[in-house]
Amino acid sequence: MFFDTDCGGVVHNLAYLRMIETARTMLAEQLGLAMVEMAARGVYPVLLRTEADYRKPAKLSDRLIIRGKMSRMERARFWCEFEVVRPADGTLMVTCQQSLALIKMPEGKPLRLPEDWAVRFAHLRIRK
């Protein structure tokens, strides 16, 4: 989109983070963290850290695909990884890693990850 670019037609780094935020919301639903249901329970995933490597600049009118996955878990934190790719030539534009925790609101209390995650995501590197 035009509003995602600077005066030279290069995608601004903040635009990538907004795209990744959208992908993370969609990934959360795939992981069983539907936002409406979570809001009803008062449990929310909270972003703790974002690391992004901007490898190649995207330009105005580039079509981009964002791929995301949960990559690792601890007792109360989990990590998601994202790649922003230009499918026209397969160029990897951005890689991003984010750590998150589940928080009970309105108390702001960190929660342990659901017990069933150890089984559902057994293929991940799990740290205790």
**41-65 pLDDT, tens digit each:** 999 899 999 999 999 999 998 999 9
Cα(83)–Cα(108) distance, rounded to whole angstroms? 30
Residue 101's nearest CA partner among 81, 77, 125 is 77
Helix (H) or strand (E) holding 83: strand 77-86
pLDDT recorded at residue 128? 43
Cα(83)–Cα(47) distance, rounded to whole angstroms? 17
- Phi-psi label, residue 60: left if phi above 0, alpha if psi -120 to 50, beta otherwise: beta
- Tens-place pLDDT, residues 75-123: 899 999 999 999 999 999 999 999 999 999 999 999 998 888 777 777 7
- Which CATH code is given to the segment(s) 2-118? 3.10.129.10
pLDDT recorded at residue 18? 93
